[in-house]
Amino acid sequence: MKTIKSALLGAKTLTDTTEEVLLAELKDLLKEHRGLIINRLIKDLPTYLDYKFNVKTTKQLHETVKQLLVDLKHDAVDLDQYKTVTNQVLARAVTHLTNEPFYIEIDAYLAPSVKPRELKFA
């Protein structure tokens, strides 16, 4: 048995009978954790966009980013995005899951759609 400790999910145990089973369970757990982070972002999206991308939210941008986040939330987790976590889970009995790799994925996913607009002077 492997244990994953997460501030959002608590302590979860994964079956490690085979590596395939372990990685399948890890994918599900990472997707659940990512979903909780995305739900929190959606609740205060203007603040996050201003903080992370230095952009003020318009109604159109808000809806676009919200839909992107919902799409990402429902997408399968690519373990290549989480190699550090995967390696830790494979090597250790207990892994502490941080939010950093999730924000890296989310920010990279949103960045092309949230480019700061050029200012135009009249």
Q: Mean pLDDT, consecutive 10-residue segments, the chain of 122 residues?
A: 94 92 96 97 95 90 96 96 95 95 96 68 46
Residues 2 and 77 sit within 8 Å (Cβ to Cβ): no
**Listed residue (72, 60, 65) closest to 114, CA to CA:** 65
Q: Given this model, what pLDDT does residue 117 score?
A: 54
Q: Is residue 7 one of the residues assigned to a domain?
A: yes
Q: Given this model, what pLDDT does residue 26 score?
A: 96
Decide: residue 102, CB within 10 A, 0-12 exposed, 13-18 middle, 19+ buried.
buried
Q: Given this model, what pLDDT does residue 116 score?
A: 61
Count of domains observed in the chain: 1
Query: CA of 69: how far to CAs of 5, 60, 115, in Å?
Result: 24, 14, 16
Q: Is residue 34 one of the residues assigned to a domain?
A: yes
Structural domain of 43: 2-109
Q: Is residue 11 one of the residues assigned to a domain?
A: yes
Q: Is residue 114 one of the residues assigned to a domain?
A: no
Q: Is residue 36 one of the residues assigned to a domain?
A: yes
Q: Is residue 52 one of the residues assigned to a domain?
A: yes
Q: Is residue 116 one of the residues assigned to a domain?
A: no
Q: Is residue 18 one of the residues assigned to a domain?
A: yes
